[in-house]
Structure 1
Amino acid sequence: MRSISSRQRSRILQLEEAARPLEPDAGERDRLMAEVHAYAQGFLDGLPERLAYQHDKSSVARIRELEIGSGTRSIDQLVDRIDESVVGAGLVPSHGGHLGYIPGGGIYASSLADYLAAVTNEYAGVRFAGPGAVEMEDAVLDWMAALVGFPEGSDGNLASGGSVASLIAVVTAREATGLRARDYERAVVYSTAHVHQCLHKALRVAGLGETVRRDVPLDDGFRMCPDSLAALIATDRAQGLRPWLVLASAGTADTGAVDPLSRIADVCEREDLWYHVDGAYGGFFALVEGCQPVLAGMERADSLVLDPHKGLFLPYGTGAVLVRHGEALQDSHTYYASYLQDTVVSEWGGRSPAAVSPELTKHFRGLRVWLPLLLHGEEPFRACLEEKLELARYFRREVEALGFETGPEPDLSVVTYRWVPETGDANAFNRALVEETHRDGRVFLSSTTVDGTFLLRMAALAFRTHLHTIDLALDVLREAVERLEADPARWRAAARGEALTAGLPGGSGD
């Protein structure tokens, strides 16, 4: 008979009762779900009427009015705070008017998957504990590998995004090539100035901050020049350095350019360098037949990053890394701990995700990829991506017709452009112009600077972006130019760093 004092029993039962709100019954779950579902339905139905960007962020401060730990709040009060202070401030990433940066997605089917993943709380880090969750992730990764043309024997991991996926790739490259600390100051990394910053960060986080960096020259389309790459490698070898890693882009964030991946692969094979391709933005355009020639060579990479929360329109927090030789990925990340010894003896084989990434605790993110692909099939994703390519071409043609100077024909769905005023500083005008569009808020556009030239960017990748969205963006730009040209003092003030306020739509001067 178990021995427990009446006092201890009473205390345990008292604590159990106090913790009971964490386990609501069916009726309470229905009540909570009804409130949340009603908000979600209203949000989605009302999304077209919302601003894509809310310049006024004053509501954010009200989050602090509800002090954590000071008591309970009703679900409707909390949902209202989310709507006003989170969704109602800054960018609305799920809006079709999100035409800046590289938009994330948020398709509805993935929200259902996330709900199921959270309710079941399946663990996806170790196959012994969560065999179904791990197998589902593996199935998704196999589909991605087949899509891009990776061979059997490749391996991968679903990560939280392109940054962690890139870190996994860099660490794998370091270990697979036998790079050691004594080599870092001689090891050379080659990329263009437009390679995504997460790769530079990954190098630093992986302890490779002392490596030599080379910016490979660009062609007129902002793509890496393979001949220049080969020349840099030859010069570095002659100087006693160790060429090690080439970072190419299948769609840069700045301009959307796709490097000549096959020709770069030729150089890497000839010189025995690790070849990494950042396909976080552009990789899933491989679903579109017309894009396959542009992306040719991606399948020859040693490591490749894809972001399903971009090209598959999934919620933020969904990245992927693929490595051509799976054993290299496993050898660089596998560790052992005694308390996990039971997990080594499994009733059926296969490696665990914890053996190919920094994560041991791992969210069941594979479900948010698997469920929509099985529910909808590939075709809607393919059509949505092709639509964005056509919208980018349409936008470039029409914005040029408005009088804007445009960048190169887009490789994918990013268009660069700027307005050149008859007199004055064009950079100052375009800084004021992008600010004007932000204050308008109906669409969200972004900017970049290339070789000292301030450019505007239109990135069509949000799954809710359609033809009417692009027509609205063109109207917003036309109207903004007209306002600024009618009042040159406003945009010339921007050249002196002065704030744009009075008389701007949505600004304090209204």
Structure 2
Amino acid sequence: MDQQLKKLEYEARKLEYRAEEQSNILQKARKYGESFIENISTLPAYVESEDMGRDIYDLPFEEHSKDMDTLLDVLKSEVDTPGLNPASGKHVGYIPGGGLYPSAIADYLAAVTNRYAGVFFSAPGAVRLENMCIRWMNDLVGYPEGASGNLTSGGSIANLIGLVMARDNAEIQAKDFARTVIYTTRQVHHCVMKAIKFAGLDDAIVHNIPMDEQFRMRVEKLEKQIKVDRNEELIPLVIFASAGTTDLGAVDPINAIADISEKESIWYHVDAAYGGFFLLTEHGEKKLAGIERADSITIDPHKGLFLPYGSGALLVKEGEKLYKSQHMTAHYMQDAYKATEEVSPADLSPELSKHFRGLRMWLPLQLFGIKPFRAALKEKLLLTRYFYQEVQKISGIEVGPEPELSVMYFRYIPGEGDPDQFNKRLVDEIHRDGRVFLSSTHLKERFYLRVAVLNFRTHREEVDLILSILREKIKKITEMGSFSE
């Protein structure tokens, strides 16, 4: 056994790099990252690729080791080249992810030290740090002392926890599920539909409340539907409103919906994953007025604070309701219950093992201060209005309503032929070109292009390039002709 242990130890110790090896591999990774950022302005926003990174499979996991240079080459060619480049300021298609450099440093430090930030006993400073981030966001939305929350992987999990909490708070039992009613609109993020399924509420009734011309919930229709449901002895459970829909950036009438939720004693959840951090601006404060009246809120730092993907948050006005919904105990954790000065994230979420994700938010907020974040968000609002004005100078462009936040949609109406086919061709041409990335959507059975301006690297230069490419591609397609069905 002694010889066997020595042999195994020899191999196992290879997992621990010596200082020189650590420095070498870190230097190569840093050089790769710095090169990516240095060239980000010239890199395409989207790359169509025939094999779509398939050659990654040419490097299977094997018994022997591989060198870092080879792995970085494959990473560049098969992972970081094909497809969408969310770090690019020319990506205005989907709601962009951020990728602040200090957040990458924070993730490195969090991974190296590997603090378990789920339980206060395990890492009290880490838990305090994450709770500090949550407290700051609660202050931002106007929640009182006693509010709580959890840093999640994104809006999907935040919305799921919010729905489960609403279910638990109402003491809904399985026998009640088919009589339970959820109110929202067809513009709500599709992760809410997934949350309904995962919360065991597949049998619940989902009422999609009609919207006005700007795709905002019509409160008079909501109020009427609730009365109908109560007369039919159904159980109104939760209202899901949107503070900036992902599709169009629409903001539901938050205050008016709060009036109804309070009057009817229905849980009120606002999905502000995209729009929430616009509260740092005067415009956002006006648009999201009344959000502090919601029982719970979803907000994504990987959107409005430009952090890397995997940075969401759930905020709850009455923190004890979140604790009551999520807290559980285990015998093997009895030592951890000795220290309870602050509530632990593991008691407020389905997650037990978790990344110390709060560090990626805390570090840039401390390094930069709040001022540049506020300025960047104001800039995105103005850039969207600039684009809205300038794109209408292109003959044949039809726009939707003036954007409420930083998302807008439009389409080109050709002199002849089918507009939907033309705009599909237009999107395809833009994607093939790759210099910029726009996305598309369907509204009232019509095909539209959409622009979502929220990358901290997007400035007027990038918006002007998008406008230039639109003119170029419209001219090209028009000259090619034949775009009818």
Q: TM-score range by the shorter chain?
A: over 0.9
The worse-fitting range, judged by mean Cα deviation, of 289-298 and 304-313 is 289-298
Cα displacement (A) at 1:10: 2.2
Cα displacement (A) at 1:240: 2.1
Cα displacement (A) at 1:59: 5.1
Residue of structure 2 in register with 1:508 after alignment: none
- One-letter code aligned to 2:184: S
Distance in structure 1 (CA, Å) of the matches to 2:75 and 2:52: 10
Distance in structure 2 (CA, Å) of the matches to 1:165 and 1:309: 13
Equivalent residues in 2 for 1:163-174, closer than 5 Å: 163-174=156-167
Distance in structure 1 (CA, Å) of the matches to 2:54 and 2:10: 35
Residue of structure 2 in register with 1:394 after alignment: 386
Residue of structure 2 in register with 1:418 after alignment: 411
CA RMSD of aligned residues (A): 1.0
Shift of the 475–284 alpha-carbon distance from structure 1 to 2, 3 Å rule, reads: same
Asked if 1:106 is matched to 2:99, the reply is yes
Residue of structure 1 in register with 2:371 after alignment: 379
Provide the secondary structure at the position in 2 that maps to 1:166: helix
Verify the 8 A CA contact 1:236 1:243 in the aligned structure 2: yes
Provide the secondary structure at the position in 2 that maps to 1:117: helix
Distance in structure 1 (CA, Å) of the matches to 2:214 and 2:421: 24
Residue of structure 1 in register with 2:265 after alignment: 272
Percent of pairs identical after alignment? 48
Equivalent residues in 2 for 1:1-80, closer than 5 Å: 8-58=1-51, 60-80=53-73
Cα displacement (A) at 1:173: 0.5
Per-residue CA deviations over 1:168-192 (Å, capped at 9, x if unaligned) read 1111000011111111111111111
Residue of structure 2 in register with 1:336 after alignment: 329
Cα displacement (A) at 1:291: 1.6
Runs of 4+ in 1 over 6 A off after TM superposition: none
TM (normalized to structure 1)? 0.94
The counterpart of 2:249, out of the listed 249, 256, 266, is 256
Distance in structure 2 (CA, Å) of the matches to 1:73 and 1:57: 27
Verify the 8 A CA contact 2:89 2:459 in the aligned structure 1: yes
Residue of structure 1 in register with 2:314 after alignment: 321
Shift of the 370–486 alpha-carbon distance from structure 1 to 2, 3 Å rule, reads: same
- One-letter code aligned to 2:227: A
Shift of the 59–259 alpha-carbon distance from structure 1 to 2, 3 Å rule, reads: closer
Cα displacement (A) at 1:22: 1.0
Asked if 1:363 is matched to 2:355, the reply is yes
Provide the secondary structure at the position in 2 that maps to 1:442: coil
Provide the secondary structure at the position in 2 that maps to 1:458: strand
Provide the secondary structure at the position in 2 that maps to 1:123: coil
- One-letter code aligned to 1:412: L
Verify the 8 A CA contact 1:57 1:89 in the aligned structure 2: no
Verify the 8 A CA contact 2:151 2:357 in the aligned structure 1: yes
Verify the 8 A CA contact 2:52 2:83 in the aligned structure 1: no
Distance in structure 2 (CA, Å) of the matches to 1:294 and 1:37: 41
Provide the secondary structure at the position in 1 that maps to 2:171: coil
Distance in structure 2 (CA, Å) of the matches to 1:241 and 1:59: 49
Residue of structure 2 in register with 1:158 after alignment: 151
Distance in structure 1 (CA, Å) of the matches to 2:405 and 2:326: 34
Provide the secondary structure at the position in 2 that maps to 1:136: helix
Verify the 8 A CA contact 2:155 2:273 in the aligned structure 1: yes
What runs of 5+ residues in structure 2 fail to find an aligned partner? none
Residue of structure 2 in register with 1:134 after alignment: 127
Provide the secondary structure at the position in 2 that maps to 1:184: helix
Verify the 8 A CA contact 1:59 1:84 in the aligned structure 2: no
Distance in structure 1 (CA, Å) of the matches to 2:34 and 2:289: 41
TM (normalized to structure 2)? 0.98
Distance in structure 2 (CA, Å) of the matches to 1:473 and 1:37: 31
What runs of 5+ residues in structure 1 fail to find an aligned partner? 1-7, 496-510
Provide the secondary structure at the position in 1 that maps to 2:215: coil
Residue of structure 1 in register with 2:440 after alignment: 447
